[in-house]
Structure 1
Amino acid sequence: MPLQIPIDKIIETSRVLLSIAGRYLVFAGAFYFFFYVWRKRAYWQAKIQQRYPENKHIIREIVYSFITILIFGAVIMLVIYASKKGLTRIYPNISDKGYAYYFFSIGLMILMHDTYFYWTHRAMHWKTLFKLMHKTHHLSTNPTPFAAYAFHPLEAVVEIGIVPLIAFTIPYHGTALTIFSLYSLLLNVTGHLGYELFPKGFARHQLFKWHNTSTHHNMHHRLVKCNYGLYFNIWDRLMGTNHPDYEKSFEQVVEKRIKAKGAETLLPDELATE
């Protein structure tokens, strides 16, 4: 007897997949169009690596990202199912715990994910796991925004693992998890942007140095064994895994951008692609 899936389950699954895919395309597509197409010449000096990836690399990033989206959708559907069965710690109304906890929970999710990402990321740099799953993401040595979800399927499972971890451990409202997801995607896309947008002195400032930059993650893709953090530069500083030239590299990129501001930008063909 053929397996019959209720139409409402198909509709709900399709809605989840379209939501994840839509967000990815809007965020990654918008940043890519602005920096790699429309304002390509104007922002050339802000490009961390002074070359652009070939189209075949961008296509690879998009293909792997859509495989990731399918895996993300499957795990999220399982969490939704568990929530309907009362197995997660979701609560229905913001008033149940108040707005103070609502905003606190979003910050807590971000801190949980930053810690989860750092340590799972470092684990995936263990030689065996790197070859098995993480090497796929590192094929983007000069990443674009589309690399945000360009994972091996096994790594995609690890990456989305933060959602069930949150759902089963802390009380949360559905919209709080949505806001966290949007924040995560935005920081992931800008981390893979390939352009440095933060101002001079940011990476050395007493307060702001604890937040990561595009230069920080770009160096990780290029140099591999350093700069493992996601949102913040806390764990890398505590564990001594920042690249020793990170702050210097950041300042060099920003200085070049500042000096070129207002000047005509030349984009030689030989520097345009890798």
Structure 2
Amino acid sequence: MLISSAIFYYFYVQITYEKWLQKSNPKYPSPSSVRMEIILMMKGILAGTFCPALTLYLMSKKQLKGYCGVDEYGWGYLIVSFFIAWLSTDFFEFLYHRMGHTIDMLWNVHKSHHQFYNPTPFAVIAEDYVDQIVGASPLVFIPALVPINMDLLFFQVSK
């Protein structure tokens, strides 16, 4: 939110003719549209913390196979798991996003993210709560299935 706010301030509050020339959409969004983006973003942030919080809770109860540090499995395992987790989480995100555009039931959930004709930086994470929870679900499912460095996984799944 801080980064989005800083970018918004620079490009939308401190308006200059030079910045306006670089905009692909010459109009600026209405205050009510920006307000709606911020509200949807805040709801998304709230929902998006569910899976990370659940993961940390389950880790504290030793219910997941995640670990911290390198010593337990070594550098080789960490490097291999980095690429496997990277490819699998990226493919998961791509597939879920693609299905959100091609399956009517999922589009009904995902379309709230695309409702802003002239988006601001806040629209990047202005997603429905279901999108946020599903998008963060690899944080729970991957360490439930295989041992993985949790620092690495949190880094890769963070948006």
Asked if the contact 1:49/1:142 (under 8 Å) is kept, the reply is: yes
Distance change >3 Å, CA 96–CA 162, structure 1 → 2 = same
Cα distance per residue 1:26-82 (max 9 Å; x no partner): 222222223333365433333233332222111111111111222222222211121
Structure 1 residue 144 corresponds to structure 2 residue 120: yes
Give the C-alpha shift of residue 146 in structure 1.
Answer: 0.7
Q: 1:33 to 1:167 in 2, by over 3 A?
A: farther
Residue 92 of structure 2 is matched in structure 1 by 116
Segments ≥4 residues shifted beyond 6 Å:
none
- Deviation for aligned residue 1:90: 1.1
Q: Which residue, out of 70, 77, 81, partners 2:57?
A: 81
1:101-112 to 2 correspondence within 5 Å? Answer: 101-112=77-88
- How far 1:104 moved relative to its partner? 4.5
Secondary structure of the structure 2 residue equivalent to 1:43? helix
Amino acid corresponding to residue 32 of structure 1 in structure 2: F
- List gaps (5 residues or longer) in structure 1: 1-24, 186-274
Q: Is the 8 A contact 2:68 2:151 kept in 1?
A: no
1:128 alignment partner in structure 2: 105
In the other structure, the counterpart of 1:61 is: 37
The percentage of counterpart residues that share the same residue type is 26
Q: Compute the TM-score of the two structures, normalised by the length of structure 1.
A: 0.51
Q: Which residue of 1 is the match for residue 137 of structure 2?
A: 161
* In structure 2, distance between residues paired with 1:33 and 1:44: 14
Cross-structure match for 1:172: 148
Q: Cα–Cα, structure 1 residues 102 and 150, in superposed 2: closer, same or farther, change >3 Å?
A: same
Residue 36 of structure 1 corresponds to which residue in structure 2?
12
In structure 1, C-alpha distance between the alignment counterparts of 2:67 and 2:3, rounded to whole Å = 29
Distance 1:124 1:130 in 2: 5
Query: CA, structure 1 residues 72+100, in 2 after alignment: closer, same or farther (shift >3 Å)?
Result: same
Task: For 1:40 and 1:157, locate their aligned partners in 2 and report how far apart those are by CA, in whole Å.
Answer: 38
In 2, are the aligned partners of 1:82 and 1:88 still within 8 Å (CA)?
A: yes
RMSD over aligned Cα atoms: 2.4
Q: Specify the alignment match of 1:91 in structure 2.
A: 67
Q: Cα–Cα, structure 1 residues 68 and 179, in superposed 2: closer, same or farther, change >3 Å?
A: same
- The answer for unaligned runs of 5 or more in structure 2 is none
| Structure-2 residue corresponding to 1:9 | none
Q: Which has the higher contact order (CA 8 A, sep 6+)?
A: 2
Relative to structure 1, the CA distance from residue 26 to residue 100 in structure 2 (aligned partners, 3 Å threshold; closer, same or farther) is farther
Give the Cα–Cα distance (whole angstroms) in 2 for the partners of residues 32 and 107 of structure 1.
Answer: 34
Residue 210 of structure 1 is matched in structure 2 by none
Render the CA deviation track for 1:248-271: whole Å, top value 9, x for unaligned.
xxxxxxxxxxxxxxxxxxxxxxxx
Deviations 1:7-26 (A, max 9, x none): xxxxxxxxxxxxxxxxxx12
Change in CA separation of 1:166 and 1:36 when aligned onto 2, cut-off 3 Å: farther
Q: How many residues align?
A: 158
Query: Do the aligned partners of 1:103 and 1:176 also contact (CA within 8 Å) in 2?
Result: no
Query: AA paired with 2:48?
Result: F
Partner SS, residue 93 of structure 1:
coil
Structure with greater helix share of residues: 2
TM-score, normalised with respect to structure 2: 0.81
